[in-house]
Amino acid sequence: MNRHNLKNTIAFLIFPFILLVIPGITKDPYLLHILIMVGINVILCASLRLVIMAGVWNLGQIAFYAIGAYVVSLLMVYYGLSFWLVLPLAGIAAAVVALGFGYLAMRVKGMYFVILSLAFVEMIRLTIINVPFLSRYHVLNVPPPNPIIFPGLLRVEFISKVPYYYLILALVIIILAVLYRIERSRMGEIFKSIAAHEPLCQSIGINTTKYTVLAFVICSFFAGIAGGFYAPYLTLIAPRSFNMLASVMIFVPLIVGGVGSFWGPVIGATLLTVLPEILRGAVIYEPMIFAVILLLIVFFLPGALQVCPE
Amino acid sequence: MDPLVNGVVMGLIYALVAVGFSLIFGVAKVTFFAHGEVYMLGAVGGFYFLQRLGMPYGVGIILGMLGTGIVGLLIERLLRRLRGQDLAIVVVTIALGMFIANAAMHIVGHTPLAVPGQVPGMISLFGATLALERVVIVLASVAIVLALHFYIQRTKAGHAIRAVAQDREGALLQGIDINRTTATTFFIACGAAGAAGVLLAPLYYVDVFLGSPALIRTLIVVILGGLGSFPGAIVGGLFLGLIESFGYTYIGGLTHLISFAAVIFLLIVRPQGLLGRE
């Protein structure tokens, strides 16, 4: 085991432990809410990194987040299904849509894909707004997840923020571990090499379309899971929140934290979730301050945007 | 008749905005996501010129063009440092758009602004009665598109623009000043968007957040017509304008889905867009 692996192993062991005991120290709902939102953004951002790593400039992550949120909400509200059954379905639905859209969209590359993925975000949002079945009341009220019951032992009701906190923590750990394994596997190496030089990959017999679509599907699956968690947690969802700007905002932490390192997006997502909370006092200027911070980052942290370290 | 006229009016406005986006992409390789906000500046500027200062329509359009053109020059200076860093450019232009829209909100406020009609009266054309204002807008947009076309195809500066779009190094070897050509492109592209904003201001309410819907339409138009293609932007703009106008009249809100379905369908049969090159 080399030093790099050791460092990551420690990170995987110590951070979850600290995070695990936080609700034991404080049950402040505001703090827990921020941590839960950090968790959602970490999932969105870390999974988005996988597809960016494969050279696919996907700025449409929020579309799959929305699909996940709506699949869970509709199945829970109209069919009364259990949250634990529909959460995986949310991921699968997002993955299926990603497979279809990805297969078509991979015909275009680079900036064309950026534009197309942003257009896709609007397409999903407008579908939600305009299909009567989806937006019967425009805002959907979603029930909380069904309680977890181990007869005689334990009964977890989703009333306070604590169970949500542990649920998102579990999801974050599982998803980060899966993403980490993928990156270290042969598949991860193929993703990186496609980003570095696609024609070269094709010349040695790698089906690059297959792999880029695969990266896209994996990334969208996790985005769907995050959306599936988000809807019952916030208890109401509206199509308005799944817009293009929000989608770009998922991409931004990748730039702040750097695309090249595994922990970059995790740190970036944490910073960019906490930052607006600090700026809350200046709420009407918040978008402007945010924009200025973005500009400063890009101009004064050059190299943050490199996918592969030179 | 009404949907047709409205479709052509809106289509030409979309085309004017999309031509600039496409031109900037073709020449500077910049995806200019603040283009919607430049159009918004034109529209809000139109309110000030026409309503507050009571200027004639024509003067307002020219001032709007110059003003947004200068904004374009300033933005080009800022983006020059990022040449070649495509992802950084995406983020910077989106952040700029956000900044412009919110700064405008603090100055102008977010209530919709009404600009009075500029050209009263009706006109009879081929047996149909049309509002003269719409005819003027159509003529003015066509004139601007033709002027741009002439500029790019016939003048020396236009040749430089096309040369840089085709082959950057090649153009440099021929002694073309790339910075200057890029700046010119930003000037005329933003000027066209600003002119579109002023032109449209008397027809609809104007507010500081009309930039992002305009940007989304621009993206659809350039995907339809082919990114970087001048005639493609015009064909795409007219196509989208007509789809939207007929759609709203006959099927309502689902119209958006039709334009997106058109985008997806086009991707399957012709990924490079209607008039784009491989």
Compute the Cα dihedral for A71, A72, A73, A74 and give only its sign.
Answer: positive
Report pLDDT for B24. Answer: 94
CB pairs under 8 A between A and B: 110
- pLDDT reported for residue B1: 66
From the number of C-beta atoms within 10 Å of its C-beta (0-12, 13-18, 19+), residue B198 rates as buried
Using the Cβ of B83 and the Cβ atoms of chain A, whether some distance falls under 8 Å is answered with no
Q: Quick check: A294 and B91 in contact, CB under 8 A? A: yes
User: In this complex, do A57 and B264 lie within 8 Å of one another by their Cβ atoms?
Assistant: no
Q: Which of B25, B33, B91, B251 to mutate to test the interface with A (most CBs of A within 10 A)?
A: B91
Of the candidates A112, A118, A292, which has its C-beta nearest B99's C-beta? Answer: A292
Compute the Cα dihedral for A252, A256, A261, A263 and give only its sign: negative
* Stretch among A57-61, A141-145, B97-101 having the lowest mean pLDDT: A141-145
Confidence of residue A305 (pLDDT cuts 50, 70, 90): low
- When pLDDT is cut at 50, 70 and 90, the band that residue A282 belongs to is low
Nearest to B220 among A119, A244, A285 (CB): A119
A198-207, B35-44, B180-189, B245-254: least confidently modelled range: B245-254
| Chain A neighbors of B258, CB-CB under 8 A | none
Q: What pTM does this model have?
A: 0.83
State residue B34's pLDDT score: 93
**What tens digit of pLDDT does each residue of B190-207 get?**
999 999 999 999 888 898
Per-residue confidence at A78, pLDDT binned at 50, 70, 90? Answer: confident
Would you state the pLDDT for residue A266? Answer: 85
Quick one: pLDDT at residue A93? 96
Average of pLDDT values for A226-252? 85
> Within the 217-236 window of chain B, which residues sit less than 8 Å (CB to CB) from chain A?
219-220, 222-223, 227
pLDDT at A137 over 70: no
- Determine the pLDDT at residue A160: 81
Q: Give, rounded to a whole angstrom, the gap between the first and last alpha carbons of chain A.
A: 24
- pLDDT digit string, tens, across residues B230-260: 899 999 999 999 998 998 888 877 777 787 7
Instruction: Report whether B236 contacts B15 (CB < 8 A).
Output: yes
A257 in Cβ contact with A264 (< 8 Å): yes
ipTM, two decimals, is: 0.76
Q: What is the pLDDT of residue A310?
A: 33
| Residue A309 confidence (pLDDT) | 39
CB contact under 8 A, B86 and A129: no
Q: Which chain A residues are Cβ-neighbours of B94 within 8 angstroms?
A: 245, 248, 294
B32-74 pLDDT tens trace: 999 999 999 999 999 999 988 988 999 999 999 999 999 999 9
Give bridge partners of residue A154 from the DSSP assignment: A150
**Chain A residues with CB-CB distance to B under 8 A?**
57, 59, 104-105, 107-108, 110-112, 114-116, 118-119, 122-123, 126-127, 129-130, 243-245, 248, 251-252, 255, 284-285, 287-288, 290-292, 294-295, 298-299, 302, 305
More confidently predicted of B223 and A137? B223
Q: Which residues in chain B are contacts of A292 at CB distance < 8 A?
A: 95, 99
- pLDDT tens for B110-164 read 888 888 888 888 888 777 778 888 889 999 999 999 999 999 999 999 999 999 9
Counting every residue, how long is chain B?
278
Is the model's pLDDT at A15 over the cut of 80?
no
- Does residue B182 register a pLDDT over 90? yes
- CB contacts, 8 Å: A107 with chain B: 267, 271
- Rg of chain A, C-alpha, whole Å: 19
Identify which has the larger pLDDT, B43 or A130: B43
Cβ separation A130–B88 shorter than 8 A: no
- A154-156 and A148-150 strand pairing: antiparallel
Average pLDDT over residues B11-33: 92
Angstrom distance (rounded) from CA A29 to CA A195:
42
Cα of A250 to nearest chain B Cα, Å = 11
Asked whether the beta carbons of B258 and B239 are under 8 A apart, the reply is no
HSE-up (13 A, CA, CB side) for residue B208? 16
Exposure class string for A185-204: b at 16+ Cβ within 10 A, else e = eebbebbebbbeebeebeee
**Which positions in chain B touch A295 (Cβ < 8 Å)?**
92, 95-96, 99
Q: Which residues of A touch B87 (CB under 8 A)?
A: 57, 255, 305
Give the Å distances, CA to CA, from A223 to A90, A126, A264. 9, 19, 18
Segment A64-79 mean pLDDT = 90
Tell me the three state secondary structure of residue A219.
Answer: helix
Which residue of chain A is at minimal alpha-carbon distance from B21? Answer: A115
Q: Average pLDDT for residues A255-265, to the nearest whole number?
A: 77
Mean pLDDT across A93-116: 87
The beta-carbon neighbor of A126 closest among B25, B106, B256 is: B256
* Mean pLDDT value of segment A83-99: 94
pLDDT, position B128: 74
Band of pLDDT at residue B91, cut at 50, 70 and 90: confident
Does B91 contact A287 at a Cβ distance shorter than 8 Å? no
Query: In this complex, do A126 and B223 lie within 8 Å of one another by their Cβ atoms?
Result: no
